[in-house]
Amino acid sequence: MLSEFRLPDVGEGISEAEIVRWLVAEGASVNEDQDIVEIETDKAIVALPSPHSGKIAKLHRKEGDIAKVGEILVSIETEDTAHAAPQADHGTVVGSLGDEQVIELPTPVKATPAVRALAKQLGIDLVKIRGTGSEGKITREDVERAAAGTAAEERHDGESSGPIERIPLRGLRRTIAKRMHAARQRVSDVTIWEDADITDLDRIRSKEKEIAAQKGIKLTYLPYVIQATIDALKVHPYLNATLDDEREEILLKKFYNIGIAVDTADGLIVFAIKQADQKSLLELAQEISTLAEKARTRRLDLSELRGSTFTITNYGVIGATYGTPIINYPEVGILGIGRIQDRPVVDDGAIAIHKIMPLSLVFDHRVVDGVEAARFLNVIIDRLEEPKPTLPEKS
């Protein structure tokens, strides 16, 4: 009997995933629970184990393909029933993750015979269409829109005046594109910019980073910004919230999971520092370092990518001063840190050189008004401009 292993829901509500790398080839023998394929979903790479021991009869997807939950990934010829016929599919599919509970899932494509006939006539692959009808059903309008898009693409190609390289939108860049599109469609974002004079903080950090270095920890400005942000979130809780559009409710989070955006070779990844308000300066610094390295090597767990309540992005490390970062939906705010500069300022009537940290706050105006957002940012600035030493002096 051929056992068909289909893309399961890995427990995070995914609807599709990219085949990153096959760990087996057709004809190879596999053991139950042996990893056979790596998939990418929601910015994380996950290895899926074989549900059976046997021989790989067929790989149904190529590396780089996008598979929807419930679609066949691989057929396995099990050792004890090698000559039996394949099991019939009676309208549902089953996904399994090793010892995880078996999950029953709906069939991948939902469309009426008339819609299927229209798609065949127009040369449209229904698997590639996201249905807008009830329960994800593909409608006639969905097929017609897909056909119109194909025709427009062909016209564009015909009008081209030079060579074109087609690069599939895959992996992390595809995930980022989908998230950014969703954020732009749903969020009414507004940006305000201010500067923080961190001259005193710079002096404190210069001393404390030596203490941290003795413990093998790299102390940047980011942990100080995180602590200042948490203080501001406690004073202005509507920045630590999400908006439930369907129920028309604002959900105020009573915990502080700070998302940190980090640049990787594949694109921007946001990991979450859970319960950040309960961690010391050095604990924050160590966790940032650990999770940033895991992000760059694409080995973050899904749990480390989810659950943030407010996000901070530091584009100053690449030389940018101000920006309008896109909110990490469904959060309602994101703080951008710009390049720290020495600038001339008026200090007690005289010109002096101070350390200035540019800050950009983007907020969802549906939840937060401009006055509250400005007050929130002022709390952060006050904490950064009037810092208190955190670490004990070196003995």
Nearest to 21 by CA among 62, 60, 56, 51: 62
48: its two tokens: 């899926």
Tokens of 351: 């010109």
Q: Please identify every residue annotated as catalytic.
A: 365
Q: Which two tokens stand for residue 39?
A: 């998939």
Q: Which amino acid is at 49?
A: P
Positive or negative: CA dihedral 161, 162, 163, 164? negative
Strands (E), 225-380: 241-244, 249-252, 258-264, 267-273, 310-314, 333-337, 341-347, 350-364
* CA neighbor of 188 nearest in space, from 326, 323, 359: 326
CB 356 within 8 A of CB 316: no
Region class of 80: left (phi > 0), else alpha (psi between -120 and 50), else beta:
alpha
Q: Give the Cα separation of 254 and 47 in Å (integer).
A: 34
Closest CA to 340 of 191, 197, 232: 197
Structure tokens belonging to residue 352: 């002096």
